[in-house]
Amino acid sequence: MKKSKVIDYFITNKNINTKVKPNSKGEAFAPSNIALVKYWGKRDLELNTPNTNSLSISLQDKGATTAIEVINSDADIVYLNNNLVDYSSDFYKRIIRFLDLFRFSENYRYQIKTTTNIPVAAGVASSACGFAALVLALDNLFGWELSRQELSILARIGSGSASRSVYNGFVEWEQGEDNDLGLDSIAKQLDYTWNELRIGLIYVDKSKKKISSRDAMLSSVKTSPFYKTWPEIVSKDIQDIKQAIGDKDFYSLGQIAEQNAISMHALMQTSIPPVMYSTEDTIKNMQKVWYLREYDKVQVYFTQDAGPNLKLLFLDKDIKTIEANFPGLTIINPFNFYNYSFTKK
Residue 164 CB, shortest distance to ligand PMV, in Å, is: 8
Sequence-distant (6+) residues with CB within 8 A of 215 are none
Our CB check for ligand PMV shows the closer of 99 and 275 to be 275
Residue 307 CB, shortest distance to ligand PMV, in Å, is: 8
Measured from the Cβ of residue 258, the count of other Cβ atoms closer than 10 Å reads 22
Contact 329, 339 (CB under 8 A): no
Distance of alpha carbon 342 from alpha carbon 319, whole angstroms: 26
Residues of 76-85 as b/e, b for ≥16 C-beta within 10 angstroms? Answer: bbbebeeeeb
| Contacting residue, 221, 306, 322, 332, with ligand PMV by CB under 6 A | 306
Our CB check for ligand PMV shows the closer of 128 and 202 to be 128
- Omega of the bond leading into 225 within 30 degrees of 0 (cis): no
Q: Counting Cβ atoms within 10 Å, is residue 143 exposed (0-12), middle (13-18) or buried (19+)? A: exposed
Residue 319 CB, shortest distance to ligand PMV, in Å, is: 25
Instruction: Choose the stretch contacting ligand PMV; rule: CB under 6 A; options: 83-91, 123-131, 229-237, 281-289.
Output: 123-131
Residue 48 CB, shortest distance to ligand PMV, in Å, is: 7
The answer to whether residue 39 forms part of the interface with ligand PMV (CB under 6 A) is: yes
The answer to whether residue 161 forms part of the interface with ligand PMV (CB under 6 A) is: yes
For 32, half-sphere exposure in the C-beta direction (CA atoms, 13 angstrom radius) is 24
Residue 214 CB, shortest distance to ligand PMV, in Å, is: 5
| Contacting residue, 51, 140, 159, 189, with ligand PMV by CB under 6 A | 159
Residue 237 CB, shortest distance to ligand PMV, in Å, is: 12
Our CB check for ligand PMV shows the closer of 54 and 189 to be 54
Distance of alpha carbon 236 from alpha carbon 255, whole angstroms: 13
The answer to whether residue 305 forms part of the interface with ligand PMV (CB under 6 A) is: yes
| Contacting residue, 32, 49, 60, 127, with ligand PMV by CB under 6 A | 127
Measured from the Cβ of residue 90, the count of other Cβ atoms closer than 10 Å reads 11
| Contacting residue, 35, 135, 244, 332, with ligand PMV by CB under 6 A | 35
Residue 92 CB, shortest distance to ligand PMV, in Å, is: 17
Contact 42, 182 (CB under 8 A): no
Contact 289, 313 (CB under 8 A): no
The answer to whether residue 112 forms part of the interface with ligand PMV (CB under 6 A) is: no
Distance of CA 153 to the CA centre of its chain: 13
Measured from the Cβ of residue 330, the count of other Cβ atoms closer than 10 Å reads 16
Residue 66 CB, shortest distance to ligand PMV, in Å, is: 17
The answer to whether residue 160 forms part of the interface with ligand PMV (CB under 6 A) is: yes
Residues in 200-219 at the binding interface with ligand PMV, rule: CB under 6 A: 213-214
State the residues that interact with ligand PMV by CB under 6 A: 35, 38-39, 54, 125, 127-128, 159-161, 213-214, 305-306
